[in-house]
Structure 1
């Protein structure tokens, strides 16, 4: 009996120690004052692109945007993205894309994300492969120019009305800097490299490049970071619906491509470790690491229990029998049949919008799941993810 009690005590102490270390000895979120984020600056790929790529190249066509904006609104989705729900939750307007010049206001932030963006520069053509010409370092350079020019014009403006669409220079250090990028680096590695060993070997370099951009933002007064890890790329229907008669072990118990998810998990592990190092290095910062992978995987693995159809269902698009017809397109498939890929009857019951991107309903579910801090390290809700930690 005594040995059992002693063992339980040891396990409790070890468990407490591990938890404290994992959370970096931060204070309980209930003791923290709520942050007042005057602006959000976002960096990422199509998962958070609110119109950058559409402004730079070709805009999304119908039926994108149908569920909320009732018109195409620069998002590869039927409505809002996770970043839109974050902005709403923090009381900030939806972010204007930095690359869009029409009807934009940057008073409460800007969005530098572009569809297809990667952390590292990849020597592939956007028009051929979908890799963005605006990788993370270019996005950070855009922010640098934005900050410098905003400060200049704000200080030059004499009338209050001339400043109404400009960010307030003093608020750059108080803003929230959100980052959601890395999925396309993994996808490109699977396209370009022949085996898992070589793919894994690319991850440290990618993580180091990510850390370099966080350091650069910190030098430019960024203090509050909300960093998403990458999602379960192996669960995207664009990949899973093409798998016919898979070899044993190729798919996991939820029908996801196991190798791709294993690489995503390794990427996330190294990203988490890097965030811990950055917290020590950048002492005047609050850096939240958010387990987006877990949120998305839990939704996919429990789709029907959460009110959705099978996770492999695609609302808008056709990716079967060697054909890839993207949302809103009309093409002939291999047997000569003409297919128009319009929207499904009820996007609110489907997780995947086009085989790669999530529907507004899925984005809303995920956003609600991550913003309360349950999947964050430190475990603070987004409303308290700021420096200093009071």
Structure 2
């Protein structure tokens, strides 16, 4: 296994060197030519499984397995009802799995009716990278922080092989070689930043916690690597300052709102986190030399969607589809699916809009299925959002990659 990965890295090095020689012309962006060379000349990866770590942006049932279902109208667009997702339908991770020909991931914590033959999802809505404590974290955040998700993965890895050896139905559990050849996806960090604002921190104070947050992030990646993980697909955080959840909760001056209606200071914190996360990924590429790392610029994709929403067929990108009241159709005390008793009957007061397919934001915090579909289309078809700019289906070939510079 090690020799084959080294051979692939060597082949990639030859391809990149060839690109440098053939296309060394002024002002040419090597990322584009490297992407084309790698995508054209190396075979597609055969990912037998996905193991996902994250928060509600990729949770497919972890939190609801603990605390009960995501209430209607969650799930109405695709699943016809609650499917453990805080969305009207599918998430980016669902579309990503589908693009690889793999089934949707079941939550590790969901013991009823789950199939882990092609991976598992350890994500939990409300999850943070830093462990939750009563000192640092307010209520409504998940106890399934990233270190817990890492422990869950370790247990699943070890136990699945013991149980699989019992044969019969248990042989549907992933084989040992699946863990080495799987895609490891990460989408987490947003809640660590939003927590800071909930605790009345300034943007500079929120930035100050980032090194500690990322040190813990790196610890989990190293732990997964130590257990054989080799292909890492890491999403940065989106433009939190464009979410009604953040816009409605914090006072902003006119000067602190950009031309698209997003909160500049909050997005500044997200961009700071992302810059440091990218530095960490570059460091880990050198440290964990047998691994392949892809950094995915979710922030730019989502911000582009909001900025170009009307052009792309969406309406009022900052107005929530499922909610009630106020400028953004969002009330944090009456979130999507909330009910009240009227004349002795329970009615939904925070319901879905008539057409979620033309809305960007589902519930004030999460994106609609239509938005998620647009986001995954950018990930799969526009390599400029990836570092290195190598497609998902060839992401296992980029071990040892160093981001190329512009020629002068």
Q: Distance in 1 between matches of 2:121 and 2:25?
A: 44
Alignment check: 8 A CA contact 2:163 2:170 kept: no
Alpha-carbon shift at residue 209 of structure 1 (Å): 1.0
Verify: 1:46 aligned to 2:52, yes or no: no
CA change 1:202–1:297 in 2 (3 A) is same
Task: Report the CA distance shift for 1:347/1:175 in structure 2 as closer, same or farther (over 3 A).
Answer: same
> Are 2:157 and 1:162 aligned?
no
Deviation at 1:203, TM superposition (A): 0.8
What is the 5 A alignment of 1:142-291?
Answer: 142-157=152-167, 159=168, 161-164=169-172, 166-241=173-248, 246-291=252-297
* Equivalent residues in 2 for 1:62-101, closer than 5 Å: 62-101=72-111
Is structure 2 residue 388 aligned with structure 1 residue 364? Answer: no
Q: Distance in 2 between matches of 1:100 and 1:23?
A: 44
Could you tell me which runs of 5 or more consecutive residues in structure 2 were left unpaired when the two chains were aligned: 1-23, 342-346, 401-408
- 2:353 corresponds to which residue? 344
Compared CA separation, residues 137 and 359, structure 1 to 2 (3 A)? same
Alpha-carbon distance in 1 for matches of 2:243, 2:69: 23
Kindly report which structure 2 residues correspond to 1:92-171, keeping only aligned pairs within 5 A, or say none. Answer: 92-124=102-134, 129-157=139-167, 159=168, 161-164=169-172, 166-171=173-178
Aligned residues: 368
1:319–1:129 CA distance, 2 compared to 1 (3 A): farther
2:289, 2:174 → 1: CA distance? 25
Using the TM superposition, give the Cα deviation of residue 122 of structure 1 relative to its aligned residue in structure 2, in angstroms.
Answer: 3.0
Retained in 2: the 8 A contact 1:46–1:117?
Answer: yes
Give the structure-2-normalised TM-score: 0.84
Q: Is the Cα–Cα contact under 8 Å of residues 35 and 389 in structure 2 kept in the other structure?
A: no
Question: Quick check: 1:350–1:359 contact (8 Å CA) kept in 2?
Answer: yes
The 8 Å contact of residues 324 and 351 in structure 2, kept in 1 or not, is answered as: no
* In structure 2, C-alpha distance between the alignment counterparts of 1:209 and 1:319, rounded to whole Å: 38
Contact 2:324-2:335 at 8 Å conserved across structures? yes
Q: How far did 1:387 drift?
A: 4.1
| Kept in 2: contact 1:223–1:286 (CA 8 A) | yes
> Offset at 1:227?
0.3
Aligned equivalents of 1:196, 1:274: Cα separation in 2: 21
User: Are the aligned partners of 1:374 and 1:381 in contact in 2 as well (CA < 8 Å)?
Assistant: no
Cα distance in 2 between the residues matched to 1:107 and 1:72: 23
Q: CA deviation at 1:131?
A: 1.0
Cα separation, 1, equivalents of 2:312 and 2:35? 34
- Structure 2 distance, partners of 1:142, 1:37, is 21
CA RMSD, Structure 1 to Structure 2 (Å): 2.6
Taking the aligned partners of 1:91 and 1:15, their CA distance within structure 2 comes to: 38
Distance in 1, Cα, partners of 2:243 & 2:78: 23
Give the CA deviation at 1:195: 2.1
With the length of structure 1 as denominator, give the TM-score of the two structures: 0.88
Aligned to 1:301: 307
**Whole-angstrom CA distance in 2 between matches of 1:182 and 1:282:** 22
Deviations 1:76-98 (A, max 9, x none): 00000000000000000000100
Determine helix, strand or coil for the equivalent of 1:110. strand
Change in CA separation of 1:125 and 1:133 when aligned onto 2, cut-off 3 Å: farther
Q: State whether residues 29 and 379 of structure 1, in contact with CA within 8 Å, keep that contact through their aligned partners in structure 2.
A: no
The alignment partner of 2:209 has SS state of helix
The separation in 2 between residues aligned to 1:346 and 1:126, in whole angstroms, is 39
Instruction: Tell me the equivalent position of 2:41.
Output: 31
Sort the Cα spacing of 1:138 and 1:14 in 2 relative to 1 into closer, same or farther, 3 A: farther
Partner residue, 2:11: none
SS at match of 2:294: strand
Q: Kindly tell me: are residues 384 and 121 of structure 1, through their superposed partners in 2, closer, same or farther at Cα, counting changes over 3 Å?
A: same
